[in-house]
Amino acid sequence: MARIPLIAGNWKMYLSLAEAVDLGRAVAASCADLKNRQVMIAPTSAALAAVSAATQSSTVKLAAQNSGWEKEGAFTGENSPVMLKDLGVSMVILGHSERRHIFGESDAMVNRRLLAALNFGLQPILCVGEQLADRDQGNTFAVVENQLRAGLEGVSSTQLDQVVVAYEPVWAIGTGKTATKEQAQEVHAFIREKIETLYEKNLAGEIRILYGGSVKPSNVDALMGQADIDGALVGGAALDAESFDRIIHFK
Ligand code: 13P
């Protein structure tokens, strides 16, 4: 089965409510002519309800930037997957490097969040990626493998088809320094190979692996031309309607 490309915009902690609604509408309009590709946007949780209303009659998928591991409870500052679903959210970004490295989220937390997302019917995007020091020391593959194994712990073969993986080398995020298409492809192929070891060949062939880290209109075509790159997780360039429109219309 062919992997349907997914272009995902991570809006991080940017945009006023009015700006988020405007951008949501613009992305919805950009998607009107798309065939055989999916587009997702992840506003801040504060803007989810409004962006959900603004995009509900479109094909744009709405995502949260994180989600909790229980249905409800005393978890100040968290959003439950069930509450997010109520808002029209269908996907969630988990284990983003900013969560891991700024807020100290561990692999174990990311795994709990991922299992809960699957149990409550949200499609998780599991983010993995090495820091510059890891790459310099030759530890890229070990770091990525550990994050992948720990993140997917307890995920069954039947649940795996709901999971999307995103490879985001930390040194390429927000730095303007994209991994070359060869560097990205090498790690994507490695991730697919590891999934084949953890699960089986046909599941590894079906899982989508997105690349993230300074994806722009100028480099998206080359990245998307790689055999194991099935989409992009876009930060900065997803905040501008025109840039994102070009990215979702990659050639
Ligand atoms: P940039 O595209 O701004 O580098 O951000 C990438 C990212 O972190 C997406 O999740």
The DSSP annotation for 59-79 comes to: SPEEEES---SSSSSS-TT--
Give per-residue pLDDT as tens, 37-86: 999 999 999 999 999 999 999 999 999 999 999 999 999 999 999 999 99
Ligand 1 midpoint to CA 147 (Å)? 18
Pairing relationship of beta strands 91-94 and 231-234 according to DSSP bridges:
unpaired
Compute the distance between CA of residue 129 and CA of residue 212 in angstroms, rounded to an integer: 9
Write down the pLDDT at residue 1.
67
Compute the distance between CA of residue 213 and CA of residue 240 in angstroms, rounded to an integer: 16
Residue 126 has pLDDT above 70, yes or no: yes
DSSP secondary-structure letter at 240?
A: S
78 is catalytic: no
Nearest-atom index, ligand 1, CA of 173: 4
Per-residue confidence band for 2, with pLDDT thresholds at 50, 70 and 90: confident
Write down the pLDDT at residue 220.
98
End-to-end CA distance of the chain: 21
Burial class (CB in 10 A: 0-12, 13-18, 19+), 244: buried
Q: What letters, b where the CB count within 10 A reaches 16 and e where it falls short, cover 20-53?
A: bbebbbbbbebbeeeeebbbbbbbbbebbebbbe
Looking up residue 110, the CATH number of its domain turns out to be: 3.20.20.70
Residue 93 has pLDDT above 70, yes or no: yes
Percent of the chain with pLDDT over 70: 100
Write down the pLDDT at residue 174.
84
Site to probe by mutation for ligand 1, drawn from 41, 94, 168 as the one with most ligand atoms within 8 Å of Cβ, is 168
Nearest-atom index, ligand 1, CA of 98: 8
Residue 90 has pLDDT above 70, yes or no: yes
- Note whether residue 1 is domain-resident: no
Residue 236 has pLDDT above 80, yes or no: yes
Q: Which long-range contacts (CB under 8 A, 24 or more apart) does 223-226 make?
A: 223/178, 223/181, 223/184, 224/5, 224/250, 224/251, 225/181, 226/181, 226/184, 226/185, 226/188
Residue 109: beta bridge partners?
A: none
Catalytic entry in 96, 105, 130, 188: 96
Q: Please give all residues whose beta carbon lies within 6 A of any atom in ligand 1, as ranges.
A: 10, 96, 168, 173-174, 212-215, 233-237
Would you tell me the crossing angle of helices 140-151 and 181-198 to the nearest 10 degrees?
40
Amino acid at 182: E
Q: Tell me which residue has its CA closest to atom 9 in ligand 1.
A: 235
- What is the mean predicted confidence (pLDDT) over 23-31? 98
Q: What sign for the dihedral angle of Cα 47, 53, 55, 60?
A: positive
Q: How many structural domains is the chain composed of?
A: 1
Give per-residue pLDDT as tens, 180-235: 999 999 999 999 999 999 999 999 999 999 999 999 999 999 999 999 999 999 99
What is the domain range of residue 36?
A: 6-248
Q: Tell me how many degrees the CA angle 214-234-226 measures, rounded to the nearest 5.
A: 75
- Kindly report whether the global pTM for this prediction surpasses the value 0.85: yes
Ligand 1 midpoint to CA 173 (Å)? 5
Percent of the chain with pLDDT over 90: 96
| CA-closest candidate to residue 21, choices 81, 77, 62, 80 | 62
Residue 177 has pLDDT above 90, yes or no: no
Catalytic entry in 98, 105, 130, 168: 168
105 is catalytic: no
- Note whether residue 96 is domain-resident: yes
- Note whether residue 24 is domain-resident: yes
The structure tokens listed for 179 are 């991994």
3-state secondary structure of 161: coil
Q: Tell me which residue has its CA closest to atom 7 in ligand 1.
A: 235
Using an 8 Å Cβ cutoff, are 95 and 115 in contact?
A: no
Would you tell me the crossing angle of helices 140-151 and 107-119 to the nearest 10 degrees?
40
